[in-house]
Structure 1
Amino acid sequence: MESAISTLVTTFAKCSRGKESLDSKSFQKLVEKNLGGVMEDTSNTSAVKEMLKGLDDNSDGKVSFEEYLNLIGYVANSMSQRKTGCNPDAS
């Protein structure tokens, strides 16, 4: 698990070039390069821009590390549901 956390932190730092947040272009590259195997439309610029808007809690047009972690949590939860066959939203 330590390795996974280190990878998350290192990936963000590398893509943000040491800055506190990812701009739109950096976020697009991160998603395309690192999440294409677990998410759809990662090469669709407009879909990724919509994703950024959904993550951007403070509406600054960027994705902070905390906002990035929200994305990681969403992706991890989706993967968990697929692996276990559970859908907590289903009634």
Structure 2
Amino acid sequence: MPTLLEMAMDTMIRTFHRYSCKEGNRFELSKGELKLLLQRELTEFLSCREDPQLVDKIVQDLDANKDNEVDFNEFVITVAALTVACNDYFVEQLKKKGK
């Protein structure tokens, strides 16, 4: 039976490829594919942000090599950065509660 971390890694890989195969290069996300992935898969995270342009800003920032597509490495770096930000927020909330 896979561990929780192995299942999380599998989920990231499968999620990326579920969206990357919709158009163009099946191993990279177009801006449209990435935007759809973010809107569908990070719904709760994005809904609590007040910036209506947040998805567009994330898409622009993700494309590190400016080829108008996001490869798996760029995607993973972003997911990791978002995870760190969420953890930092969680830790800060616990500190405020004195736990």
TM-score (norm: length of structure 1) = 0.81
| Identical residues among aligned pairs (%) | 20
Measured on the aligned residues, the alpha-carbon RMSD in Å equals: 2.0
Unaligned runs of 5+ in 1: 87-91
What is the aligned residue count? 84
Residue 62 (structure 2) pairs with residue 21 (structure 1): no
Task: Report which of the two has the higher share of helix.
Answer: 2
- Seen in structure 2, the aligned counterparts of structure 1 residues 41 and 11 have a Cα distance that, compared at 3 Å, is farther
After superposition, give the CA deviation of every residue in 1:18-77 in whole Å (9 maximum; x if it has no partner): 8121001111110000011123369x4x43222111111110011110110111011100
Match of 2:72 in 1: 65
The higher radius of gyration belongs to 2
Q: Distance in 2 between the 1:15 and 1:74 partners?
A: 20
Runs of 4+ aligned structure 1 residues displaced above 6 Å come to none
TM-score (norm: length of structure 2) = 0.75
Match of 1:3 in 2: 7
Unaligned runs of 5+ in 2: 94-99
